[in-house]
Structure 1
Amino acid sequence: MASNNIRAARTVRRALPLVSGVSLISLLAALPASAQQAATQPAPAAAYETGEYIELDPITVVATRTEQSWIDTLAGVSVVRPEQLEQMMPVRTEDLFRGMPGVTAIQNGNTSQTSINIRGLQDFGRVAVIIDGARQNFTQLGHANAAGSFFVEPGLIADVDVVRGPVSNIYGSGAIGGVVTMRTKDADDIIARGQTWGVETDGEFGSNGPMGYGSVLGAAQIGENVDLFGGGTFRKQDEYKDGNGDTVNNTGYETWTGIAKATFRPADFHEIKLTGLNYESQYTTSNEDSATTTQYNTDVANRTVTASWNYSNPDDNLFDFRSTVYWNQVEQNQVKVAGSNNAITGNIGDPRTFTIDTVGFDAYNTSRFEWGAVQNAVTYGGDYFHDDVDNVDNYGFGDGYNPSGERGVGGAFVQWSAKYANWLELITALRYDTYSLDGDGVSADGDHLSPKITLGITPWSWLTVYGTYAEGYRAPAVTETLVAGDHPAFFPGGAPPFEFVPNPNLKPEIGENKELGVNIKYDGLFTAGDKLRVKANIYQNDVEDYIELVTYGPPRCIVPNPSPVGPPCFAYNDYSLAQYQNVEEARLRGFEFEGTYDARKWFFSLAGQITEGEVTAGPDEGQPLSTIPPDQLTATLGARFLDEKLTVAVRWTAVAAKTAADLPDDSVYEPTDSFNLVSIYAGYQPSPNTLWRLSVENLLDEQYTQYQNFLPSAGLTVKGGLTIRFGGGQVASAATPALITK
């Protein structure tokens, strides 16, 4: 009986907003019997209209590390849950973030690595990406690589949570742009309630390539206090065609994953989870869509091991403890297979390797108490990670762009959240960060205190207005600090055009974010059972000591004259030195909006952003930032039929042009045209264990290239999928059934 209560409490704590001083098991038991029964079986459409079914908003901890409803969070937070993932039918990691305001996933067609841009900030950890509690810190800098990327199979993802801006400074150093957390599937996602084991099989096929995907995931409950989960996936994509019908070179890839988890509950309200994840991908990458450009056969492996210990007793207000230790390794092996022989990329057949090992931990606790009419939650903890970068290129300049070295980053924080009479909420936090960095005889270190204060007012139950000031702190990366040496000559016989100079005196970046937002939550607006949810905000993030690669020094001869007759040099480079420096201050401003209206029979959502950014101090003052994404708007309209067994939806995304006037003079990115994408989706679920899916992406066969990508995206693509779940066994009925959220 105790284990059933533990399982119910764990599910309810994910499902309900923060309640101070109240047993959640008791709270659930107090619900009407009809509401309890609704949690154990699918609800017919009529149940929403009569109020017999309670559907809760998605719960997130990404902004404050305490459970809150997504719509109640006083920050720019977006979440993706299984229902949305089923509609997306994500093939590439970038698909997980489509239509998310203020967030751009950058993924060229010839690679499986992805970089995240939030509000115009990206690269070198400005956006913290965390998968199953483990930070993803891989960087491979080059002429066509973003300086910070990660690898994950979208078919394994169960939840995605994103907070925009440095408002979540309790997550550690670096997140001056925001935080992205992803959770992979687990036993709770596979085993149906009341059963002891389950299997999920998934198959997909796409026309443009073609492409295919398959997965088998299984889970079992051993006794009452042990859950086991494991499985694997395989995905294959052949070269796709763009909107003009032309085949885009080197856009094929293969990806395999294996995952295993074990969950133990050794005592009441204690949970230990062990996770192992292995990701492997093979593809051919190049700097442009040309058969003659430099190309590499790439094999990448992303390996993650995590161990977590959590304690959560709804009746214990003093301790609500979470902890994780992890190891993540990304190893990318490349062999040059095409292109001219030169000192920058080496000769055909030459190998190179980029490896990073990250070990770290994260631990925090929340204590709750009441002080008169004020409900309080104090969260405090610390975290640390250590990066060991080992890059080897004995034939080219790959390890020149990406020097080896070590970096340790850690900190501690305390956060106080106070709520008064359901209309006033105050959140204050203070974080201390420190870091040290070593490599090639160069070392650096630093520390900083980052404050945060948020005030939210709810004048009516359906409306909350909030304001925030928060700072974020980003320690310089190994590459920025240690990059050194002569850049190889551009052609045989030439001289090095310039020299990279290390900079141990780099100051960390500090983001100072001011934000005003509004949350709207209204049920029964037009009909019984309908739901309106709106989040909108405006912000200004001033980044001090912005780090940028600077070129300077006298011109350097790159084509010397070997003859004593004539000029000593036939060609010069404009500069002789390059170094990462704190030369600029940047200001980023914008507006973000996302809203949904769901009347069960039909639903509508609208999301978009306007973003601008410029240099406000330094030699490039007044220049726009090259990393600002184009403005965009996404609208989705859908309907449910056959007692909600059939769902159909159409999505329209409009993306503005990025003109030359929007880019700085020395931008490495090309302007892009505006484009419109139309996609349709249909999902039929004849039973709780079977789901048929069909989608048509880029229905109008639009020819387009996303900003910061150099390859055109795929044209018209038809995808179909089938998911089948089955299971068995029977457990003793829980004393209190758990609510289920979407």
Structure 2
Amino acid sequence: MTRKMLRGSTALFVALCAIPALPAVAQEGTTAGTGSQDAVSRGFLGTLWMTPGKRDLSLGSAVSRTTIDAEEIADRQAGTIAELLDTIPSVTLINGSTPQGSGINIRGYGANSTYGNDQKIAIQIDGASVGSEELYRIGTQLFTDPLLFREVEVLRGTIGSFEYGSGIVGGVVRLETKDASDFTGGVPGLRIGQTLEFSSNTAGATSSTTLAWQPDDRAEFLLNYTWRQQDDQIDGDGDVIGNSEFETPSWLAKGKYTFGQDDDHSISLSFSRTTADEKDVPYDTFSTTAGSFGNVDRTTETQQATLQYGYNPVSDLVDLTATLSYADQKIDYSYVPGSSPLEVTPTWPFLEATVNAKQRYETTKLVVKNEARFLTGGVAHSLRTGAEVSRRVRKDNDASSAPGGEDNRVALFVIDEMTAGGFTITPALRWEKSKVESAENYGDYENDALMGGLALAYEFDNGLSVFGSYAYTEGLPIIDDLGSAAINDWRMSTTEKAETWEIGASWAGTDVLSAGDNFSVRGNYYSTKMWDVTSYSASGSTTENLSRIETEGFEIEASYGLSNGVYFDLQGSTGQGTEYADGVPDTDWRNQPATTVGLTLGRKWGEWLDTSWEVRHTADARDALLEDLPDYTVHNLRATWKPQNGALEGTEVRFGLENAFDLDYTGNLSSRKAPGRTYKLGITKVF
């Protein structure tokens, strides 16, 4: 451990050791202070502690989990999914202010300067797997609009991932679309919701219209249309950020019907679709100018559909769900003649095959799982078992940088939460088998792997929880790994292996410093080692892969609130890593997260007004070329006004001022500058 990490660990250790001396806490079912609700959801994911601030904390869990609810989604007025996540510890946004070229990096894995995903993070929309293809210089292609969602959950690390996939080192991003009952309040009737948002940087505008109908207590239906656009943005130095203009209309249709004796059966269907039609824009979405690849006309269509059946009878042994999902994305490129300086060079035929291309990939997945609750002696079990079958097809592909083919997989998983007294012991296993079939005579390859982990947690009576975990995972080769015979002999027959250790503690309590106050904190240290690396080449080489990657870091989240409505939210993380390759000097891990700390100071006046000032400082950052960046501090102001009576009752007005001091800076691992000062106004009304 380096001296810098040792200083961080010492500070965190001292802070956590001081916590147990503080008094009393709220247990499950008790009130967590002024403005809070009951604590819920204990077990493997811990207790969701309702804080008086912007975000509830997951305590007493070995899984590092952060949940952003509908209220925070609305308050942040984010233009992209990536922008919703920038205050979560260890999450790095790469060019996050536009759908094109943006990416999500967690603990140093995920999006990077070449691809939108390195398969070390998973992204799901209502259970459908999205944003996982490795398309050169294109980003995650996660175009879906933030206003379609009621909740975003981020699981950091491997230990909580075995239910969702293999080879996950960074974490999982799970997005859940809105339900009609979010607008009707569960009461039969018809409601119409309308949201308008405006942004000063530059000419940004959004309209989101929702029709929610609940004919009775058993059925609900929702239809949403959201249109979002912005012109090229301006950075803090007053210069135009090229390639930052976009227009993305989105649709969401969703329905649910509950039936049977005691309403123990349910069936739901959701469908969402987002499109983007760009003219004469750089092929390289990470760049602000045409560059070597030139400009293209590009049309992107992305859609997801999920059909889910649920069976939850009056039995502790059965809580069954079967989820069939389908994700489809199609990208058509048409090169703009004369826009590339390499058009007259011998390398042009190769580049032309990339910039004049059609790419389409579809993922169909069926997941059946059950949760059984039972006792064995003095141990309470919550046993989740499941089976998954998936088929990913990349077709209509004529780009040399993206091979076509099929990836068929079957997986089984079992997770058993065992609770006895204050102890929770959770073993987890996942077995997965894949067969990748090339559409271009590269051959067929089969692989399988058994992976798993163990999580331990102990909750004391005074509100202190301590936890630790070990997780091992393997990433099976994918379609993108296909290539020449020399490459396939090793890369298509090798699984990437990774193990992660975590340890931490959390505490929560009321009446800590004054009557009616509420304090909660969670901190954890992680250490990850990955070997048999197939997805990253050694620096300066196109043939020699890294032999291993080692990363470590700290994460902390805390919230404190007073009875008068004043609250403080804190998030922070620091991390570093080293990459190793034979015959090459050890170097810093190219995608390591920066050191960040964010503090939000706010006050709530009952239900009608919430004002906050958010400060976020970043140190040890590097740009996409791995050049050191100066430290930077960004200030954001927000206010939410909800009139409780009169003609405006039921209206929500939101004001935001982002990058309030017009700072000129580039975010960690980004290839573009961040937007300068931006005023935002949002108005929502449900009729």
- Rounded Cα–Cα distance in structure 2 between residues aligned with 1:63 and 1:437: 34
Q: Which residue of 2 aligns with 1:354?
A: 359
Q: Which residue of 2 aligns with 1:258?
A: 251
Does structure 1 conserve the Cα–Cα contact (< 8 Å) formed by 2:477 and 2:491? no
Residue 528 (structure 2) aligned to one of 509, 533, 541 = 541
Q: Does 1:689 align with 2:655?
A: no
Q: Which residue of 2 aligns with 1:454?
A: 455
Residue 603 (structure 2) aligned to one of 629, 632, 639 = 639
Does structure 1 conserve the Cα–Cα contact (< 8 Å) formed by 2:415 and 2:426? yes
Distance change in 2, residues 1:121/1:241 (3 Å): same
- Rounded Cα–Cα distance in structure 2 between residues aligned with 1:701 and 1:518: 38
* SS in structure 2 at match of 1:232: strand
Q: More displaced, 377-386 or 323-332?
A: 377-386
Does structure 1 conserve the Cα–Cα contact (< 8 Å) formed by 2:39 and 2:47? no
Q: Which residue of 1 aligns with 2:237?
A: 244
Q: Structure 1: state its 5+ residue gaps.
A: 1-27, 36-46, 394-398, 486-498, 553-573, 661-666, 727-742
* SS in structure 1 at match of 2:315: coil
Residue identity matched to 1:458: E
Q: Which residue of 1 aligns with 2:38?
A: 56
- Rounded Cα–Cα distance in structure 1 between residues aligned with 2:168 and 2:66: 16
After TM superposition, give the deviation of residue 112 of structure 1 in Å: 3.2
Give matches, 1:431-470, under 5 Å. Answer: 431-439=430-438, 440-441=440-441, 442-470=443-471
Please list the CA deviations of residues 261-290 of structure 1 after superposition, one character each: whole Å capped at 9, or x if unmatched.
111112112211011111112343444333
- Rounded Cα–Cα distance in structure 1 between residues aligned with 2:408 and 2:47: 23
Does structure 2 conserve the Cα–Cα contact (< 8 Å) formed by 1:285 and 1:298? no
Distance change in 2, residues 1:197/1:74 (3 Å): farther
- Rounded Cα–Cα distance in structure 2 between residues aligned with 1:249 and 1:62: 45
Residue identity matched to 1:56: D
Residue 83 (structure 2) aligned to one of 95, 100, 106 = 95
Distance change in 2, residues 1:292/1:173 (3 Å): closer
Distance change in 2, residues 1:610/1:720 (3 Å): same
Q: Which residue of 2 aligns with 1:105?
A: 93
Does structure 2 conserve the Cα–Cα contact (< 8 Å) formed by 1:93 and 1:114? no
Q: Which residue of 1 aligns with 2:389?
A: 384
After TM superposition, give the deviation of residue 551 of structure 1 in Å: 7.9
- Rounded Cα–Cα distance in structure 1 between residues aligned with 2:420 and 2:43: 21
Residue 622 (structure 1) aligned to one of 572, 586, 607 = 586
Q: Which residue of 2 aligns with 1:524?
A: 511
* SS in structure 2 at match of 1:623: strand
- Rounded Cα–Cα distance in structure 2 between residues aligned with 1:710 and 1:508: 30
Q: Which residue of 2 aligns with 1:20?
A: none
Does structure 2 conserve the Cα–Cα contact (< 8 Å) formed by 1:125 and 1:175? yes
Residue 270 (structure 2) aligned to one of 268, 271, 275 = 275
Please list the CA deviations of residues 636-674 of structure 1 after superposition, one character each: whole Å capped at 9, or x if unmatched.
110112x331111011111113359xxxxxx85444332
- Rounded Cα–Cα distance in structure 2 between residues aligned with 1:374 and 1:211: 55
Does structure 1 conserve the Cα–Cα contact (< 8 Å) formed by 2:332 and 2:357? yes
* SS in structure 2 at match of 1:346: helix
Give matches, 1:534-683, under 5 Å. Answer: 534-550=521-537, 578-579=542-543, 583-599=546-562, 601-616=565-580, 618-620=582-584, 622-641=586-605, 643-658=606-621, 668-683=625-640
Distance change in 2, residues 1:159/1:84 (3 Å): same
Q: Which residue of 1 aligns with 2:333?
A: 334
After TM superposition, give the deviation of residue 623 of structure 1 in Å: 1.7
Residue identity matched to 1:355: R
- Rounded Cα–Cα distance in structure 1 between residues aligned with 2:627 and 2:97: 16
- Rounded Cα–Cα distance in structure 2 between residues aligned with 1:415 and 1:140: 30
Q: Which residue of 2 aligns with 1:78?
A: 66
- Rounded Cα–Cα distance in structure 2 between residues aligned with 1:695 and 1:725: 21
Q: More displaced, 518-527 or 406-415?
A: 518-527
Q: Does 1:479 align with 2:474?
A: no
Does structure 1 conserve the Cα–Cα contact (< 8 Å) formed by 2:82 and 2:96? no
- Rounded Cα–Cα distance in structure 2 between residues aligned with 1:465 and 1:614: 28
Distance change in 2, residues 1:360/1:76 (3 Å): same
- Rounded Cα–Cα distance in structure 2 between residues aligned with 1:239 and 1:673: 25
Does structure 1 conserve the Cα–Cα contact (< 8 Å) formed by 2:195 and 2:684? yes
Q: Which residue of 2 aligns with 1:713?
A: 674
* SS in structure 2 at match of 1:87: helix
Please list the CA deviations of residues 113-141 of structure 1 after superposition, one character each: whole Å capped at 9, or x if unmatched.
54221111123321011111100144243
- Rounded Cα–Cα distance in structure 1 between residues aligned with 2:662 and 2:40: 34
- Rounded Cα–Cα distance in structure 2 between residues aligned with 1:179 and 1:310: 23
Distance change in 2, residues 1:472/1:60 (3 Å): farther
After TM superposition, give the deviation of residue 361 of structure 1 in Å: 1.2
Residue identity matched to 1:240: Q
Distance change in 2, residues 1:594/1:141 (3 Å): same
- Rounded Cα–Cα distance in structure 2 between residues aligned with 1:240 and 1:165: 34
Q: Structure 2: state its 5+ residue gaps.
A: 1-27, 51-56, 111-116
Q: Does 1:213 align with 2:206?
A: yes
* SS in structure 1 at match of 2:357: strand
Please list the CA deviations of residues 668-727 of structure 1 after superposition, one character each: whole Å capped at 9, or x if unmatched.
54443321110100110003621100000000101111122211111000000100012x
Distance change in 2, residues 1:479/1:306 (3 Å): same
Does structure 2 conserve the Cα–Cα contact (< 8 Å) formed by 1:137 and 1:358? no
Q: Which residue of 1 aligns with 2:500?
A: 513
Q: Does 1:171 align with 2:157?
A: no
- Rounded Cα–Cα distance in structure 2 between residues aligned with 1:511 and 1:270: 40
* SS in structure 2 at match of 1:343: helix
Residue identity matched to 2:124: I
After TM superposition, give the deviation of residue 537 of structure 1 in Å: 0.3
Distance change in 2, residues 1:451/1:250 (3 Å): closer
Q: Which residue of 2 aligns with 1:234?
A: 227
After TM superposition, give the deviation of residue 105 of structure 1 in Å: 2.8
* SS in structure 1 at match of 2:242: coil
Residue identity matched to 2:153: D
- Rounded Cα–Cα distance in structure 2 between residues aligned with 1:611 and 1:551: 21
Distance change in 2, residues 1:237/1:484 (3 Å): farther
- Tell me the TM-score normalized by structure 2: 0.85
Please list the CA deviations of residues 507-549 of structure 1 after superposition, one character each: whole Å capped at 9, or x if unmatched.
1112211110112121332345432221210011111212245
Q: Does 1:343 align with 2:349?
A: yes
Does structure 1 conserve the Cα–Cα contact (< 8 Å) formed by 2:663 and 2:676? yes
Distance change in 2, residues 1:98/1:59 (3 Å): farther
Give matches, 1:403-442, under 5 Å. Answer: 403-421=403-421, 423-439=422-438, 440-441=440-441, 442=443
Residue identity matched to 2:637: I
- Rounded Cα–Cα distance in structure 2 between residues aligned with 1:537 and 1:65: 16
Does structure 2 conserve the Cα–Cα contact (< 8 Å) formed by 1:531 and 1:599? yes
- Rounded Cα–Cα distance in structure 2 between residues aligned with 1:67 and 1:714: 34
- Rounded Cα–Cα distance in structure 2 between residues aligned with 1:277 and 1:717: 29
- Rounded Cα–Cα distance in structure 2 between residues aligned with 1:434 and 1:347: 33
After TM superposition, give the deviation of residue 363 of structure 1 in Å: 1.6
* SS in structure 1 at match of 2:328: strand
Residue identity matched to 2:220: D
- Rounded Cα–Cα distance in structure 2 between residues aligned with 1:264 and 1:241: 47
Distance change in 2, residues 1:336/1:708 (3 Å): farther
- Rounded Cα–Cα distance in structure 1 between residues aligned with 2:78 and 2:557: 20
Does structure 2 conserve the Cα–Cα contact (< 8 Å) formed by 1:151 and 1:302? yes
Q: Does 1:289 align with 2:282?
A: no
After TM superposition, give the deviation of residue 188 of structure 1 in Å: 2.0
Please list the CA deviations of residues 567-615 of structure 1 after superposition, one character each: whole Å capped at 9, or x if unmatched.
xxxxxxx98xx45x76411111110111111235111111111111112
- Rounded Cα–Cα distance in structure 2 between residues aligned with 1:223 and 1:280: 34
Does structure 2 conserve the Cα–Cα contact (< 8 Å) formed by 1:511 and 1:541? yes
Size of the alignment, in residue pairs?
626
Identity of aligned residues (%): 22
Does structure 2 conserve the Cα–Cα contact (< 8 Å) formed by 1:630 and 1:707? yes
Distance change in 2, residues 1:460/1:104 (3 Å): same
Residue identity matched to 1:127: I
After TM superposition, give the deviation of residue 452 of structure 1 in Å: 1.1
* SS in structure 1 at match of 2:75: helix
After TM superposition, give the deviation of residue 409 of structure 1 in Å: 2.5
